[in-house]
A and B are shown apart, each in its own frame.
Chain A
Amino acid sequence: MTPETSSEPRASDAVLIDRLVLRDEGALAVLYDRYAGVISSVLHRILRDDQAAEEILQDIFFQLWNTASRFDSSRGSLPAWLVVIARNRAISRLRRHNPAAGEALLEGMAVSPFNLESSAARQQLVERAKASLENLPKEQRTAVELAFFEGLTHSEIAARTGDPLGTVKTRLRSALETLRRTLHSAARSASQLE
Chain B
Amino acid sequence: MNDHPTRDEDFDLYALGALEGAEKQALESHIAFCLGCAQKVADARGRIAMLALAAPPAKAPAVVKERLLRQIREARGQGGGAVTETELQPASRAVLSRWTAILIPIAAVLAVATFLLWNANRRLDSQLAALRASAQQQERQLQDAREITGLITARDTITVQLAPQPAMPQGTAHVMYNTKMGMLMYEGQIPPAPAAKSYQLWLVPASGNPISCGVFNPVAGEPDHWMMKLPKGIEPRAFAVTLEPSGGMPQPTGPKVLVGAPS
- Check if A76 is an interface residue, CB within 8 A of chain B: yes
Contact B45 A41 (CB under 8 A): no
Residues of A within 8 A of B59 (CB): 2, 37, 40
Contact B18 A76, beta carbon cutoff 8 Å: no
Q: Are A180 and B47 in contact (CB under 8 A)?
A: yes
Q: Could you give, for residues 109-128 of chain B, a 1 whenever the CB lies within 8 Å of some chain A CB and a 0 otherwise?
A: 00000000010001001100
Contact B60 A32 (CB under 8 A): yes
- Whole-angstrom distance between the Cβ of A91 and the nearest chain B Cβ: 8
Contacts of A1 in B (CB 8 A): 57
Confirm or deny: B245 has a beta carbon within 8 angstroms of a beta carbon on chain A. Answer: yes
Contact of A130 among B17, B20, B53, B248 (CB under 8 A): B53
B246 and A157 contacting across the interface, CB-CB below 8 Å? no
CB distance from B134 to the nearest CB of A (A): 13
Per-residue CB contact flags for chain B residues 48-71 toward chain A (1 = under 8 Å, else 0) read: 111111111111110111011101
Max chain A CB contacts within 10 Å: which of B49, B57, B64, B248?
B49
CA of A126 to CA of B55, assembled, Å: 9
Asked if A132 is at the interface of the complex by the 8 Å CB criterion, the answer is yes
Q: Are B7 and A110 in contact (CB under 8 A)?
A: no
Task: Indicate if the CB atoms of A84 and B19 lie closer than 8 Å.
Answer: no
Known: A151-B17, A153-B19. A173 touches B247 (CB 8 A): yes
Would you call A133 and B51 a contact (CB within 8 A)? yes
B61 adjacent to A129 (CB under 8 Å):
no
Tell me if A94 counts as interface (CB < 8 A to partner B): no
CA distance A125 to B38 in the complex (A): 25
Which of B18, B43, B118, B130 has most A Cβ within 10 Å? B18
Contact pick for A25, options B41, B51, B63, B69, CB 8 Å? B69
Q: B60 contacts A114, CB within 8 Å?
A: no
**A111 adjacent to B247 (CB under 8 Å):** no
B25 to chain A: closest CB distance in Å?
A: 13
Binds A, one of B8-16, B85-93, B138-146: B8-16
Interface residue ranges of A132-171 to B (CB < 8 Å)? 132-134, 144, 147-149, 151-155, 157, 166, 170
| Complex CA–CA separation, A69 to B41 (angstroms) | 24
B residues less than 8 Å from A184 (CB atoms): 47
Contact with A along B230-248 (1 / 0, CB 8 A): 0000000000000001111
B135 at the binding interface (Cβ < 8 Å): no
Of the candidates A32, A133, A177, the one whose C-beta lies within 8 Å of that of B65 is A32
Shortest distance between the CB of A138 and any CB in chain B (Å): 14
A148 and B142 alpha carbons, distance in the complex (Å): 37
Chain B contact residues: helix, strand, loop or mixed: helix
Q: Which one of A74, A91, A179 contacts B12 once the chains associate, using CB atoms below 8 Å?
A: A179
Partner of B57, one of A32, A41, A152: A41
Q: Which of A75-133 contact B (CB under 8 A)?
A: 75-77, 80, 83-84, 86-87, 91, 109-114, 125-126, 129-130, 132-133
B residues 69-84 in Cβ contact with A at 8 Å: 69, 71-73, 76
Known: A74-B129, A129-B54, A176-B16. 18 other contacts (CB 8 A): A2-B60, A25-B69, A33-B65, A42-B52, A74-B125, A75-B42, A76-B46, A83-B50, A84-B49, A86-B52, A87-B52, A125-B53, A126-B54, A148-B51, A152-B18, A153-B19, A170-B250, A176-B9
A sample of 21 inter-chain contacts (CB < 8 A) reads A33-B60, A38-B52, A40-B58, A40-B60, A40-B61, A44-B58, A57-B61, A58-B71, A62-B72, A65-B72, A72-B126, A110-B38, A110-B45, A111-B42, A111-B46, A112-B39, A125-B50, A144-B51, A148-B51, A153-B19, A155-B20
A residues engaging B (CB < 8 A)? 1-2, 23, 25, 28-29, 32-33, 36-45, 53-54, 57-58, 61-62, 65, 69, 72, 74-77, 80, 83-84, 86-87, 91, 109-114, 125-126, 129-130, 132-134, 144, 147-149, 151-155, 157, 166, 170, 172-180, 183-184, 186-187
